[in-house]
Amino acid sequence: LRELDLPKGSRIGIYSTKSIEQVIAILSILSTDYVLVPLTRLLKPEQVEYIIKDCDIKCIITDRLKLESIEEINFDGHIVSYETTHKDIASFEEIFKYYNKPYTCEINGHDNAVITYSFGLTGTPKGIVISHRNLIDSARVVSQYLDLKEGDII
């Protein structure tokens, strides 16, 4: 993502089916100064298009199954695919092969980490902004509630 030369706080969407690659993408974005925007796989194309425009998504990380949907809505930002495709799109495999520079950035607990959208009764989706500190505090509360220990596997 750093090679895309996007400014701090840029929105990065993840639009894919559940997979280990999706987990890697989520954790990768959360460890940067970019903002994760999950695009749930159950969203209709017009809902995805609305979210992309509403929060100004600059890059979408996706899988082969959702790539066609992204092309249908004429997304003009960067696209990264989990798998190698026949198109001129960067893949995880290529990134892992050619990019090995250490990455550092400054993240403040109050910096935005995630923007998730709620489709309420009004029909217009609303973005909910979650900070890095909110994520850590939520994880701490859930860990305490579930009495998770260091060796536990989730």
> The domain that contains 78 carries what CATH number?
3.40.50.980
Number of domains in the chain: 1
* Global pTM value: 0.85
* Closest alpha carbon to 1 in 67, 90, 75, 122: 90
Residue 154 lies in a domain: no
Question: Alpha-carbon distance 19 to 45, whole Å?
Answer: 21
Tell me, yes or no, whether 153 lies in a domain. no
Structural domain includes residue 47? yes
Which residues, at least 6 apart from 84, have a Cβ–Cβ distance to it below 8 Å?
A: 91, 93, 94
11 part of a folded domain = yes
Residue 44: per-residue pLDDT: 82
What is the domain extent for residue 69? 2-145
Task: Give residue 108's pLDDT.
Answer: 87
User: Residue 69: what pLDDT?
Assistant: 84
What letter represents residue 1's amino acid? L
81 lies in some domain = yes
Task: Evaluate whether residue 34 is within a structural domain.
Answer: yes
Instruction: Identify whether the C-beta of residue 79 lies closer than 8 Å to the C-beta of residue 70.
Output: yes
Q: To which residue do tokens 């990380």 refer?
A: 61
Q: Which residues pair with 12 in a beta bridge?
A: 36, 59
| CA-closest candidate to residue 33, choices 99, 110, 102 | 110
High-pLDDT (> 90) share of the chain, %: 43
Q: Which among 66-70, 110-114, 122-126 has the top mean pLDDT?
A: 110-114
Top pLDDT among 112 and 107 is at: 112
The dihedral built from the CA positions of residue 25, 28, 30 and 33, taken in this order, carries a sign that is: negative
- Give the per-residue pLDDT at 96: 63
Distance CA 64, CA 16 (A): 8
Q: Tokens 């198109």 label which residue? A: 87
Q: Give the confidence band of 86 by pLDDT, cuts at 50, 70, 90.
A: low
> Residue range 10-39: average pLDDT?
93
**Does 152 fall in a domain?**
no
Mean pLDDT comparison of 22-36, 61-75, 115-129, highest-scoring range: 22-36
Would the pLDDT of 84 be above 90?
Answer: no
105 part of a folded domain: yes
pLDDT bucket at 49, cuts 50 / 70 / 90: very high
Query: In terms of Cα–Cα distance, which of 64, 78, 69, 55 is closest to 128?
Result: 55
